[in-house]
Amino acid sequence: MLTDEHGVWMRGDTLGLLCAQALGVDVIVTPVSSNTAAELSNVAGKVIRTRIGSPHVIAAMDDAAGPPGNKVVGYEANGGFLLGSDVEIGGRTLRRLPTIIRKRRNPKLGRKWKGLVSIDRGLGGLCDAIADEIGAGVWKSTRVTCIERTGDNWQLDIDRDGNTERLACSDVVLTTPAHETARLLAGLTPQVAEELRAVESSSLTVVNLGFRKSDVAHPLDGFGFLVPHNEPDFPLMGTLFADSAFPHHAPADCRLLRVFFGGTRTPDVLSRSADELVRTARSALGDVLGVRGEPVLIDVCPYPNAIPQYYLDHPQRVARIRAGVTPLTGLHLAGNYLDGVSINDCVKLGKQVAIDVQARVPQTA
């Protein structure tokens, strides 16, 4: 990791490219999320793009090893630099990544499955399926208005269809966004609520556009593209070629493009009308992908405060939040503002919270 004198981090894909140049490499392997300087700089004779994630980078590095002496490296936009082959520099040898050596010796160490995984009807479908499995014990479309501590238990005031009910329980798990968690904890621990309100989150709007295949000039032979921060004039965060990744998401004679707006690139995204975002998306896709004609599907989905921003002081803030709720026995926090914004991060934290809750359940003989 490297920062300038103002504490601004240098992106991993920029630092990785500088390392590749210093080593005089032959092949660079990097995900589609890395900036295009890898190709434009001509640092390496070959650049291989992969899906996002170190397992994909490592697998492609292994495939690109080539003859002895061929220098192969890999890096990601969020940091990390990997050697796919031994490199001689300054009279010393930098050894290649041991993971690649082990993989060659034992191909059974590969992943259980390959490719992207999707859930029909989106993540909402997963929530509905869980609710259906549990049955009557799940209350949907219900708002918690107040949380109070009463002895060793908790009391929750709940608004159900306009009627207030009180629920007593031994444990409370808050998986709400940081700003909503701040509202719920304001009366219990004002200091923690203040820390939660200080977590900045960017909003996101997803514009789904369906086109007839004949109206899309580009073959869409990939997963999509992300726009690097050093191209601030381009109006999109990125685009997913949805039916290329998940063919069942569009009819055979159509293409589905999922366009992302917001983040720090477009902080006012929620104030923009759906018509404006659709026009902007169509103009940008026309220039980049040769999309013409009228869309056969338009679906605009806004997500307020969807992406917590992990600034340099964020780990310290999370530590203060967790220390502040530790005395509140039976209160558990989970969410994408704690240990990472990805689904994998949230699932990992959710499993740990489930273990913590289960450990408090009285054991019967």
Domains of the chain, each with CATH number or no CATH: 12-109 (3.40.120.10), 201-308 (3.90.660.20)
- Note whether 21 and 1 are within 8 A (CB): no
Sign of CA dihedral 219, 221, 224, 225: negative
Strand-pairing partners, residue 209, are 257, 298
C-beta neighbour count of 344 within 10 angstroms: 9
Q: How much is the pLDDT for 1?
A: 65
pLDDT recorded at residue 304: 92
Q: How far is CA 333 from CA 35, 171, 309, 324, in A?
A: 35, 11, 18, 11
Q: What is the mean pLDDT of each run of 10 residues along the chain (365 residues)?
A: 70 88 92 86 90 83 80 86 84 72 44 60 82 85 92 92 90 95 96 96 95 96 86 88 89 96 87 95 94 96 92 93 95 94 88 91 65
Q: Quick check: helix, strand or coil at residue 365? A: coil
pLDDT of 193: 97
Number of H helices, E strands in the chain: 11, 16
CA atoms within 13 A on the CB side of 124: 3
- Pair 71, 24: CB distance under 8 Å: yes
Tell me the pTM.
0.66
pLDDT value of residue 102? 42
Asked whether the beta carbons of 185 and 147 are under 8 A apart, the reply is yes
How crowded is residue 163: how many other Cβ atoms within 10 Å of its Cβ? 7
